[in-house]
Amino acid sequence: MSRLIVVSNRVNPPADTAVGTQGGLAMALSAALREENGIWFGWSGQVTDTYTGHLSIQKIGGVTVALTDLEQQDVQEYYNGYANRTLWPLFHYRTDLVAFERTYDEGYLRVNQRFADTLFPLIEKDDLIWVQDYHLLPLAQKLREHEVKNRIGFFLHIPWPAMRVFQTLPKHMELVETLFDYDLIGFQTEDSLSAFQEYVVNCAGGELHADGRLTAFGKTIQAAAFPIGIDAEEFITAANSDKALAFYNLMRNSQAGRKMITGVDRLDYSKGLEERFLAYEQFLNNHPRMEGEVFLMQIATATREEVGTYQDLRARLDSLSGRINGEHATIDWVPVRYVNRAYRRDELAGIYRASQVGLVTPLRDGMNLVAKEFVAAQDERDPGVLILSEFAGAAAQMKAALIVNPFDRQAMAEAISEAVHMPLKERRQRHADLLEDVKARDVVWWRNDFVARLKGEPVRLHEVEAVA
Contacts of 225 (CB under 8 A, 6+ apart): 186, 187, 188, 189, 190, 192, 193
The least distance separating ligand F6P from the CB of residue 63, rounded to whole angstroms, comes to: 17
The least distance separating ligand ADP from the CB of residue 265, rounded to whole angstroms, comes to: 6
195, 290, 367, 401: residue in contact with ligand ADP (rule CB under 6 A): 367
221, 348, 357, 401: residue in contact with ligand ADP (rule CB under 6 A): 348
Residue 186 interacts with, from ligand ADP, ligand F6P, none (CB under 5-8 Å by kind): none
Residue 133 interacts with, from ligand ADP, ligand F6P, none (CB under 5-8 Å by kind): ligand F6P
Does residue 304 belong to the site contacting ligand F6P (CB under 6 A)?
A: yes
Q: What is the β-pairing status of strands 385-389 and 4-10?
A: unpaired
Of residues 158 and 375, the one with the C-beta less far from ligand F6P:
158
Q: What is the β-pairing status of strands 207-208 and 213-216?
A: antiparallel
Cα(96)–Cα(147) distance, integer angstroms: 40
Which amino acid, one-letter code, is at 286?
N
Mark the segment that binds ligand F6P (CB under 6 A) among 20-28, 54-62, 103-111, 317-325.
20-28
Mark the segment that binds ligand F6P (CB under 6 A) among 17-25, 101-109, 347-355, 428-436.
17-25
Q: Tell me which of 365, 437, 442, 449 is the catalytic residue.
A: 365
Total residues contacting ligand F6P by CB under 6 A comes to 11
Check if 365 is active-site. yes
Check if 92 is active-site. no
Q: Are 436 and 422 in contact (CB under 8 A)?
A: no
Mark the segment that binds ligand F6P (CB under 6 A) among 23-31, 36-44, 198-206, 419-427.
23-31
How is residue 153 annotated by DSSP? E
Cα(180)–Cα(174) distance, integer angstroms: 10
First to last CA, the chain: 33
368, 378, 389, 397: residue in contact with ligand ADP (rule CB under 6 A): 368
Taking the CA atoms of 197, 199, 201 and 207 in sequence, report the sign of the dihedral they define.
Answer: negative
Does residue 83 belong to the site contacting ligand ADP (CB under 6 A)?
A: no
Cα(94)–Cα(82) distance, integer angstroms: 14
Q: Are 208 and 197 in contact (CB under 8 A)?
A: yes
131, 140, 216, 370: residue in contact with ligand ADP (rule CB under 6 A): 370
Contacts of 431 (CB under 8 A, 6+ apart): 375, 378, 380, 383, 384, 400
Which residues are annotated as catalytic?
Answer: 157, 365
Rule CB under 6 A: which residues touch ligand F6P? 10, 22-26, 133, 157-158, 303-304
Rule CB under 6 A: which residues touch ligand ADP? 20, 22-24, 27, 264-266, 299, 301, 342-343, 348, 367-370, 373
